[in-house]
Homo-oligomer: A and B are copies of this chain.
Amino acid sequence: MEEKYTELKAILAEVDDLQKASSILSWDQQANMPSGGAEARGYQLATISSIAHEKFTAEKVGKLIEDLEPWAAELDPDSNDVRLLKVTKRDYERSTRVPAAMVAEQAQLSAVAHEAWVEARQKADFSIFQPYLEKIVDWNRRYAALFAPYDHVYDPMLDVFEPGMKTVEVQAIFSAIRPKQAELIHAIAEKPQVEDAFLHQHFDKAKQMAFGREIVTALGYDWNRGAEGLVPHPFMTNLGFGDIRINNRVDEEFFNPYLFGAMHETGHALYEQSMGKELARTPLFGGASLGLHESQSRMYENLVGRSKPFWEHYYPRLQEYFASQLGNVSVDEFYKGINKVEPSFIRVEADEATYNMHIMLRLELEIALMDGSLEAKDVPEAWNSRMEEYLGITPPDDAEGCLQDVHWSMGLLGYFSTYALGNLISLQLWEKIEAENPNIYDQIGAGNLAPLLAWLKENVHKHGAKFEPQELVQMVTGSKIDGGPYLAYLNKKFGQIYNL
């Protein structure tokens, strides 16, 4: 049996090498590739994906899994080996449903769709992207059909990013928080607005990046096993054990995007950098789900990066970098400024109180695209009318509306809700952290970020993808994913800032 297990692991390692190669090609496409290279890159990605798919879905793999199950039944069910086999079986069953031709088609389609999206967003012209969105929706509906029968046509999409989660669960979680979050936004709108004009000044790119590097280092990011790139749309990517990269953008006229983007991507990166080498080149080497991943990024961006204690420590240093811009702004004014709540068009720039509304909008449109109640051509209108309904504002054009996100251009439907789930999970984890370590914010206020990372590593990171998201959240916090702690946090924090 040990031999069969070794044989299976050797195949999984090769598949992982190919998947990482795809990630490198995709990373490069966003960070460096000239536009003329899109078609060739599409072919390369399609070839690699189809070989990886072919290797992973080979009958031999199915036979090895089957043969190994009795052996695994005798072992600790939470051991790496048993969990590896379980996750492999889940992925194998999912992958063998999808024909190789459809996998290659998706890779090719997303390469050209991404280029079209870049142009469409630049020109604020949805019609350039529309035919690609139609093809992407069509592909996703054909994908979902492979998993029939299902409770909901959107379930197979969601399962890719949140293994085990059902559409109905997500809808229930969101329905419970939407009215209360809307209430909070409304209450804030009645109050005098906080000042944040000082964040909208010229902040030199090199200085922003130098300060950002200090913060990212302080959070615990290991630069020997990572690097920073500049891209149009920030993301973190795992390019192999020891190569976990953060990718960000700089706005020289607005302080927030770069620094909070850096903290966000560092949250993702710390998750991947904390995993042990024993998980490398296996399907367990990654986060439990995108929602879990987002809980880490939002924790570092918001619960650390937009907290008062954090800035009580780091604000004097920031003032040294930007004396003329921030020399006369107090840490209290700065704290309020970076936490300003105001309905806005761009999701990635949204404040904590309005952010989830952006997600709910996207989830509803995706579900409607999938169930056929919405056509791609009507997306801009549907987008704008929901923006009006949820946030009381209408985007001036589609670049600030339905073209703002990269996800659909990469063929990804089912992804967005993970962002909101991440917000909710981050608070469930934080409550647990504070219960076990009531001094956590004192430590942060002293510039000591190590205890936080150690806790996360021990309780979340080290498990990699061994557990499903609901299972892991339950295991760590004692309950399933739930919006209660997040709502309580929002009410307390913004109640203080806005004197509600």
Are B242 and A39 interface neighbours, CB within 8 A? yes
Copies in the complex: 2
Are B34 and A243 interface neighbours, CB within 8 A? yes
Complex: chain B residue closest to A14, CB-CB: B47
Given the complex, which residues of B lie within 8 Å of A25, measured CB to CB? 21, 24
Cα A175 to Cα B376 with chains together (Å): 71
Instruction: Return the CB mask of A364-395 against B: 1 if under 8 Å, else 0.
Output: 00000000000000000000000000000000
Does any Cβ of B come within 8 Å of A32's Cβ?
yes
Shortest CB distance A273–B (Å): 9
Does any Cβ of B come within 8 Å of A440's Cβ?
no
Contact of A227 among B32, B44, B240 (CB under 8 A): B32
Given contacts A28-B28, A227-B32, whether A18 and B37 have CB atoms under 8 Å apart is no
Cα A40 to Cα B24 with chains together (Å): 12
Does any Cβ of B come within 8 Å of A17's Cβ?
yes
Given contacts A37-B239, A227-B33, A242-B39, whether A44 and B20 have CB atoms under 8 Å apart is yes
Given the complex, which residues of B lie within 8 Å of A51, measured CB to CB? 18, 51
Are A37 and B243 interface neighbours, CB within 8 A? yes
Contact of A43 among B35, B229, B240 (CB under 8 A): B240
Cα A41 to Cα B20 with chains together (Å): 9
Complex: chain B residue closest to A273, CB-CB: B36
Given the complex, which residues of B lie within 8 Å of A173, measured CB to CB? none
Does any Cβ of B come within 8 Å of A38's Cβ?
yes
Cα A222 to Cα B227 with chains together (Å): 28
Given the complex, which residues of B lie within 8 Å of A225, measured CB to CB? 34, 36-37
Does any Cβ of B come within 8 Å of A223's Cβ?
yes
Given contacts A17-B43, A24-B24, A43-B281, whether A36 and B224 have CB atoms under 8 Å apart is yes
Shortest CB distance A236–B (Å): 14
Are A241 and B17 interface neighbours, CB within 8 A? no
Contact of A34 among B20, B24, B224, B280 (CB under 8 A): B224
Does any Cβ of B come within 8 Å of A226's Cβ?
yes
Shortest CB distance A54–B (Å): 10
Are B281 and A33 interface neighbours, CB within 8 A? no
Complex: chain B residue closest to A241, CB-CB: B40
Supply 17 A–B pairs (Cβ within 8 Å), ascending by A: A17-B43, A18-B48, A21-B21, A24-B25, A24-B28, A27-B28, A32-B245, A33-B239, A34-B223, A34-B224, A34-B227, A35-B224, A36-B242, A37-B242, A40-B241, A40-B242, A43-B281
